Amino acid sequence: MSTHVVRPHRMTMTTRRMALRALVALIALVGLFLRLWVLGRQPVNADVAVVGLMAREILHGHFFAFYWGQSYGGGEPYVVAVLFFLFGQSGFVLGLAPVLLDACAVVLLWRVGRRLFDPSVGVGAALVFWIWPEVYLWQSTLEYGFRWATLCCGLAVVLLASRIADGASPARRRRFEWAALGLFAGAGWWCSPEIAYYLVPAGAVLLGLVVRRRVRVGPYDALVALGAAVLGALPWIWSNLHTSFRSLRAGPQPYPGFGEHLNVLRTHALPLALGLQLPGSGYWVFGSAAGRVLEYGTVVLGAAFLVLLAVRRQALVLVVFMVVFPLAYAYSPFTWYWQDGRYALYLAPVVSILLVAAAREFAAWLAARVDRPARAVALLPGLVVLLALALTLRDAHQTGPFRPNHVVGAAAATWTSWQANPSGYLRELASGLEAAGVHDVIAGYWVAYPTALESGGGLVASDVRYVRYAPYLDEVERARSTWLFVRPNARAAAAARVGSALLDPGCAVRGDRCLSPDQFTSYLRSAHISFVIRVLGDFVAIMPSNSVEPGIVLRRFGITR
């Protein structure tokens, strides 16, 4: 007769572990669901459509080092090209690219937190960043060509630097780690110079350890790392050799001051990264007074925790990052723009690790001083994850995935608004143009590129002033192109659907004059060029019988000189 011994404690531990894994999986699925929900409820804007058009050209054998019209920012269009090849070309697939890269960043963050602290911090930090703040959950559905790839490379650099700093790897594996470190550093530099947010802290920590002889670096290790970095940055190097290193020269900025950018970080970028402000409006979620108290309280407590880490010589790469970040942010020429939080993205993963690690530290301190089981107090990091999710849902309740660019009369979309075909508006326009036998189109920036993308290759479209890709402009200038305008009485509706009021040809930035359909038709009559007008929904397509030189038209009405 056999006897089965029941061990209640072991069964309880197994049940608790399964429940924890189920909770982790549930929160991960919630984050994925929210992203897929956003993808089905916001149209593809012009800046995002450019990446899709780049991917289409890449599949046709063209190579581009950087986002069209810029001397920086690359990498992600190749990820989009792979997804287009596998799943077809659509706005939904285009938005999947940053979602996948965000998921890769979450995995890397898990490994970083696990190595610098412990497994619970790694899991907690990954979950927090996956679901919070709302601004980056939304940003992870917008493909702007380089920022999420840069984030992945930066986190990979931090992870590899931490592994090398441990000094536990054998010589052969250490050389592989140095090679991988160099490769990700070089590729990250190609994607965006913003990789410096991670390169400087990782390099400073490794250099300090080398000087103190805590880490051994042989000549072969250094050569391998340098060669891999050159290989990763090869597209950046290749492009700049042909442009006298134009990437190192930033253009003029409206608010160039160091102090002004530092103030932007304090008043908007940091609150956005903490989920205390809403994107676009800068509205404080809990009111300005409470919001500032939470912001400054977080900064003070965070500084105290960083001092503790510095004294312990633990996670020094994060300590250095938090010292370097505000200085680098203020120094960057572009960080005056805060409305969508894009320039503070690199802060969010580090804040997630520090929040969960601080909660874990406080839980351990509390368990040693109160008459409570340590495992019960250790639930505090899990509470941080749930609070992060609650804050994201509260933010989402007050805003929407589709954020028009300050368009008067735009619909107040929310996360709960139903829109199963967000890009159908311009897709119908593209279909109407193709049905009319049109191939080449001149339109405003915010109409031209999304319409070309939605046509699936049936249209070539470009603005004539704010030009991203010169070959498209050359083609529409040579051809007998159709000029596309918004009907005057449909302007508010079109602006609300597209997300910008700058819809006609010649509109570059807010405050500029744009070419009107009446001006264009008056020019055609004066030049004795016949034309046909077709109304396509909210738009007017004017089809001249001959090609029209855009520069002459724009100068005729004082839009350009």
DSSP-based three-state secondary structure for 74: coil
Separation between Cα atoms, residue 400 and residue 409, nearest integer Å: 15
Of 87, 114, 115, 117, nearest in space to 100 by CA: 87
For residues 363 and 353, is the Cβ–Cβ distance under 8 A?
no
What would the two tokens of residue 380 be?
């505090």
Which portions of the chain are predicted below pLDDT 70? 1-13, 371-378, 400-423, 508-512
Of 385, 506, 491, 390, nearest in space to 445 by CA: 506
Residue 254 confidence (pLDDT): 81
Query: Identity (one letter) of the amino acid at 84?
Result: F
Residue 422 confidence (pLDDT): 65
DSSP-based three-state secondary structure for 461: strand
Our measurement of the distance from residue 180's CA atom to the centroid of its chain's CA atoms, rounded to an integer in Å, reads 24
Beta-carbon-side half-sphere exposure of residue 421 (alpha carbons within 13 Å): 6
Separation between Cα atoms, residue 418 and residue 396, nearest integer Å: 14
DSSP-based three-state secondary structure for 130: helix
Contact partners, residue 526, CB within 8 Å, separation at least 6: none
> Would the CA dihedral through 557, 558, 559, 560 be positive or negative?
positive
Residue 308 confidence (pLDDT): 97
Indicate the domain borders of the chain: 424-556
Backbone angles phi, psi at 64, to 5 degrees: -135, 125
List the end-to-end C-alpha distance of the chain, in Å, as a whole number.
100
Residue 543 confidence (pLDDT): 97
Helices then strands, each counted (H, E), the chain = 24, 5
Q: What is the DSSP string of 129-174?
A: HHH--HHHHHHTT---SSHHHHHHHHHHHHHHHHHHHHT-S-HHHH
Backbone angles phi, psi at 279, to 5 degrees: -60, 150
Our measurement of the distance from residue 295's CA atom to the centroid of its chain's CA atoms, rounded to an integer in Å, reads 23
